[in-house]
Amino acid sequence: MPDALPSFDDVLGAAARIAAHACVTPVFRSRGLDAVAGCTLAFKAEHLQRAGAFKFRGACNAVWSLPEALAARGVVTHSSGNHGGALALAAATRGLSCHVVVPADAVRTKLAAIAGYGAVLHRCAPGIAAREVACADIQAASGATLVHPYADPMVIAGQGTAALELLAEAGALDAVVVPVGGGGLAAGTALTLAARAPDCRLVLAEPRGAADTQASLARGERVTGLVPDTVCDGLRGTLGAPGFALLREHGAEVILVDDADTIAAMRLLWQRLKQVVEPSSAIALAAVLGQRERFAGQRVGVVLSGGNVDLDALPWLA
């Protein structure tokens, strides 16, 4: 697993590299949600990114960073869904083969998207350990290059371009709230804020049932082996080593969120903003609503990280 730490220069390089492929997503505002939250919100609409999530930024940067000799062998990854779809689409933009290992409990619509973008799907048991073993086997057999979903430095750099765009459009912010699972988006955002908005706090929204990031930052070393139990399928990954190092260095804060509050925020985003996002995305708003006093009167950026929702299995219908 790559453990090199990217820099803000890598984020700037990623922005130039992916400009021809990724969307500049809009920033939404809602006076109604501002009133509910008690602060001024700026929603970075990454659920409208290509492949339906911010993940396309990092995957695209990684794919187009590969030397030709490596690119010709294709790419491989493991994913609960969004990174797999993003890598499949990014590989298609360069005409590369793509293999994606997916857990047996992955969301059906996400699997359909991965296959639709032309990748070869490989099923494995749930859990990060099973995913990594299967991925290593395919990599050894195919010679494909591993593009890790959150520990690859080029992936992290690509994810940092979302915050770069957010700051450019929203202006000065007191805090930016992002979901955290494996830590790629959080780490990339940390790099951008440190360089462009050093007084802006980075706040991580983490499921209470998958709280390894909070535990890791509190302990001062990565906590692994926790079994995630959360509706946020995109946040079940274990915090990667590069992400841990960058988040610790930049003093990221963590707010733990109950699944019920995440689902309520997901529904509220549809009702007030008319945007359908997945639970792993809605958790960022839920974090703000759950601790209004922490953000009262402030200017808060909220990254809506993905919108790949199974409309036949909306969580409030369960």
pLDDT in tens, 268-292: 999 999 999 999 999 999 999 999 9
Confidence of residue 50 (pLDDT cuts 50, 70, 90): very high
Instruction: Count CB neighbours of 160 within 10 A.
Output: 32
Judgement on whether residues 88 and 232 belong to the same structural domain of the protein:
no
Range of the domain at 98: 56-146
**Averaged over 224-239, what is the pLDDT?**
91
- The domain boundary, picked from 101, 116, 146, lies at 146
Judgement on whether residues 84 and 187 belong to the same structural domain of the protein:
no
- The domain boundary, picked from 121, 146, 171, lies at 146
Judgement on whether residues 28 and 118 belong to the same structural domain of the protein:
no
The tens digit of pLDDT for each residue in 96-137 reads 999 999 988 887 888 888 999 999 999 988 888 888 899 999
Closest of 117, 135, 129 to residue 78, by C-alpha: 135
Q: Is the sign of the CA dihedral 263, 264, 269, 270 positive or negative?
A: positive
Q: How many domains does the chain have?
A: 2
Specify if 113 maps to a domain. yes
Specify if 2 maps to a domain. no
Specify if 3 maps to a domain. no
DSSP 90-138: HHHHHT--EEEEEETT--HHHHHHHHHTTPEEEEE-SSHHHHHHHHHHH
Specify if 295 maps to a domain. yes
- The domain boundary, picked from 146, 179, 197, lies at 146
Assigned token pair, 261:
């509050």
Judgement on whether residues 241 and 273 belong to the same structural domain of the protein:
yes
The tens digit of pLDDT for each residue in 157-213 reads 999 999 999 999 999 999 999 999 999 999 999 999 999 999 999 999 999 999 999
The CATH number of the domain holding residue 142 is: 3.40.50.1100
Judgement on whether residues 45 and 68 belong to the same structural domain of the protein:
no
Angle at the Cα of 166 from the Cα atoms of 44 and 248, rounded to 5 degrees:
95
Judgement on whether residues 195 and 276 belong to the same structural domain of the protein:
yes
Judgement on whether residues 161 and 207 belong to the same structural domain of the protein:
yes
pTM of the model: 0.94
Q: Which residues pair with 202 in a beta bridge?
A: 176
CA trace torsion 93, 310, 106, 205 (10° rounding): 90
Judgement on whether residues 118 and 179 belong to the same structural domain of the protein:
no
DSSP 39: S
